[in-house]
Amino acid sequence: MVLQTVDVLKNEIPFEEETVTIFSPAGLVLVDIINGFCTVGSGSLAPREPNRQITQMIEESAKLAKLFCDNKWPVLAFLDSHHPGKLEHPYPAHCITGTDESNLVPALRWIEEEPNVTIKRKDCYDGFIGSIQEDGSNAFVDWVKNNKIRVLLVVGICTDICVLDFVCSTLSAKNRGFLDPLEDVVVYSRGCATFDFPVSMAINSKDLLAHPQELMHHMGLYMAKGRGAKIAREVMFHAPGKA
Ligand SMILES: [Zn+2]
């Protein structure tokens, strides 16, 4: 069998995915599952055609959001939202505040009405940094502490950019003791996706790097695991109240 280049590279940096059992109190973090990154034709960074990895990410995230909402467990949704005229280099203008690009995808729009859901708009890649408020407090840190979250389950887009940046900052903050009682950060692989920008298109772009989807998704999970996150192939839930 002739291995594809992507498989050769993945073989060079293999990692193990596990079945993770989530015990409450757990919190679900949805990273940027918004039209501007997920809905075909919805702006400069949206997919140009239906994308299997992104579709799966939305389906899995919506299932988890339903389960968390049914149990009234805390959910935090980051929504990339930029002020008009303020670019996020090196990307073209995207997800401008007030446009539908910066809103949750149709499959998740309903969570805005749920009392256990916190919506946090951010204007940078990293949701941890984006949660810093004018008075120096951090809305994400407060959310973890107020809900006494011990396990964080993270899904969303892009695996190797906003998901990874958030996971790295969260693990650094946890290691410094800023996020007690948080113990574990779990990244659910099928609940994450990234975009596809093949090298054949990148050679025509001055700023944007090539970004082969499958490989960059793998890299994002690998880097998160390298920081101490658990990478879940499957998540099970331990029903509260049971021994
Ligand atoms: Zn952005």
| Residue positions counted in the chain | 243
pLDDT of residue 239: 67
Architecture of domain 5-237: 3-Layer(aba) Sandwich (3.40)
74 sits in the region (left: phi over 0; alpha: psi -120 to 50; else beta) called beta
> How far apart are the CA of 108 and the centre of ligand 1, in A?
19
> How far apart are the CA of 126 and the centre of ligand 1, in A?
9
Give yes or no for a contact between 154 and 60, defined as CB atoms under 8 angstroms apart.
Answer: no
pLDDT of residue 241: 52
> How far apart are the CA of 88 and the centre of ligand 1, in A?
6
> How far apart are the CA of 91 and the centre of ligand 1, in A?
8
pLDDT of residue 110: 98
Q: Where are the domains of the chain?
A: 5-237
Angle at Cα 215 formed by Cα 33 and Cα 96, nearest 5°?
30
> How far apart are the CA of 95 and the centre of ligand 1, in A?
7
Q: What are phi and psi of 197, to 5 degrees?
A: -140, 85
> How far apart are the CA of 89 and the centre of ligand 1, in A?
9
Give, for all 243 residues of the chain, the pLDDT tens digit: 566 878 888 888 999 999 999 988 899 999 999 999 999 999 999 999 999 999 999 999 999 999 999 999 999 999 999 999 898 888 889 999 999 999 999 999 999 999 999 999 999 999 999 999 999 999 999 999 999 999 999 999 999 999 999 999 999 999 999 999 999 999 999 999 999 988 888 888 777 789 999 999 999 999 999 999 999 999 999 865 544
> How far apart are the CA of 162 and the centre of ligand 1, in A?
9
Q: Please tell me the distance from the alpha carbon of residue 45 to that of residue 23, in angstroms, as a whole number.
A: 36
pTM equals 0.95
Angle at Cα 189 formed by Cα 227 and Cα 33, nearest 5°?
100
> How far apart are the CA of 25 and the centre of ligand 1, in A?
30
